[in-house]
Amino acid sequence: MIINRYLIQEVAQNFAATLLILTLIIVGNTFVQLLSAATAGELPLDLLSGLLWYGSLKNVIRLMPVALIIGMMLAFGRLTGDSELMALRAAGMAPRHFYKAIYGLVLPLTLVLAVLVLIASPLIESQNEELRREIQQRPEAAGIPAGEFVTSGSSERNYTILAESLTQDNTVMERFFVRLQDRDTETIIWARSAILFVDTINKERFLEIRDGYRYENDPNKGSSVIHFSEHGIRIPLRSFASSSSIQATPTLELLAIGGPAAQAEIQWRISIILSAPLMAFLAFPMSYTRPRQGRYGKVVWMILIYLVYANVLVTIRGLLEREAIPAAIGMWWVHGLILILGFWLLKRFYGSPR
C-alpha cells in the first residue's frame, strides 16, 4: 500500500502539473485568437469571456489523456533515472503491481472524463453555439462598427453602411445610413435606428430599419422619396461557420437518433474516454529505459504515438459519417492495436506479463 500510494502520488503530481501547463497554453492561445478577432471588429468584446471560457473547457477535456500520458512518462522516467524502478523490480514487483498502482489513479480519472465527455461536453458545446448565434446577430459581427463606413461589393453592385452609434447593449444601431448601388440604380436610406437579425429559415442576415427615408434614383423610372416606419433589407456581410449541431446533442439523444453521423459522434466520445486507460497501459512499457539512456527520451515517441492514434480516430470518424466503413468495425480496431502494442512492449522489456 505504501508503494502504491508513492507511485500514485508521483503520477498524479506530474499529471496535474502537465495539465496545468497545457491549460495555460490552451487558454492563452484561445485568448489571443479571440482578441485578434475582437480587435478586427468580428467579435463583440462583451462576449469574449464567454467564448474564452467555453472554448478552453472543450479543449482541456480533450487534452486530459495527453496530460495523463506525459505525466506517467515523466514520473516513470524519473523513477528509472534514479534507479528506484530497478529497486522495486528487484524487490519482487512485477508489471501487474505497477498497473495496480497506475489504475488506482487512472480508473477514477476515466470516470471523471466519462462524465465530462458524455454529459458536460455537449452542454459546453451547446452554450458555445448559443454565443455564436448571438454574435451573428450583433452589428460588430456583421462588420458594422460604430462610427465607421463599411463598403463592400463590386463596381456594379456595392453598398456603403454607417451606424453613427450603438446602444449600450450593442444591438441597436442609431442614426443609420446605407447606400446601395445596383448597376445604374442608386438607393440611399437614412433612419433613426436599425437592428440586425438572422432569418431562422434561410440563415441570411436582414436589417430591420425603423423611422427613416428611402431615396431611390433609377435612370428608367426616375427618382423617388419614401418615408417609412419599418423597412427590411437583406445584407450579405461577414458570416461565421456554425458548429456542427451533432456535437451539442446530448448522448442519450444520439442513441435515439441513430444514423451515421450520430454513430460517428458516439464512437468518438467513447474513444476519448477509452484513450485514458489505453494510453496509461501503453505508457508504462514505453517509459522503460536502459542504463545511460536518456531519462525522458521516450516522451516524444509516446506523444507521436498518441498523435497518430488520435489522427486515425479523426479520419475514421469522417469515414463513419460518410458511411464509407461499417459502424460495427468503426474505431474499435484502433483501440485493439494499442492493446496489442502494449502487450508486445511488455513482453519485450519485462518478459511475460505477471
Three-state secondary structure of the chain = CHHHHHHHHHHHHHHHHHHHHHHHHHHHHHHHHHHHHHHCCCCCHHHHHHHHHHHHHHHHHHHHHHHHHHHHHHHHHHHHHCCHHHHHHHCCCCHHHHHHHHHHHHHHHHHHHHHHHHHHHHHHHHHHHHHHHHHHCCCCCCCCCECCEEEEECCCEEEEEEEEEECCCCCEEEEEEEEEEECCEEEEEEEEEEEEEECCCCCCEEEEEEEEEEEEEECCCEEEEEEEEEEEEECCCCCCCCCCHHHHCCHHHHHHHCHHHHHHHHHHHHHHHHHHHHHHHHHHHHCCCCCCCCCCHHHHHHHHHHHHHHHHHHHHHHHHHCCCCCCCCCCHHHHHHHHHHHHHHHHHHHCCCC
pLDDT at residue 348 above 80? yes
The full set of domain ranges for the chain reads 2-136+243-350, 149-234
Q: How confident is the model at residue 109 (pLDDT cuts 50, 70, 90)?
A: very high
Give pLDDT tens digits for 2-43. 777 888 888 889 899 999 998 898 888 888 888 877 676 566
Give pLDDT tens digits for 118-153. 999 999 888 887 777 666 555 444 556 677 777 766
The pLDDT of residue 99 is 85
* pLDDT average, residue stretch 112-117: 93
Q: To the nearest whole number, what is the mean pLDDT of the chain?
A: 81
Top pLDDT among 89 and 27 is at 27
Q: How confident is the model at residue 78 (pLDDT cuts 50, 70, 90)?
A: confident
Give pLDDT tens digits for 60-77. 888 899 999 888 888 887
The pLDDT of residue 141 is 47
Query: Percent of the chain at pLDDT above 90?
Result: 19
The pLDDT of residue 96 is 80
Q: How confident is the model at residue 295 (pLDDT cuts 50, 70, 90)?
A: low
Lowest mean pLDDT of 2-6, 263-267, 349-353, name the range. 349-353
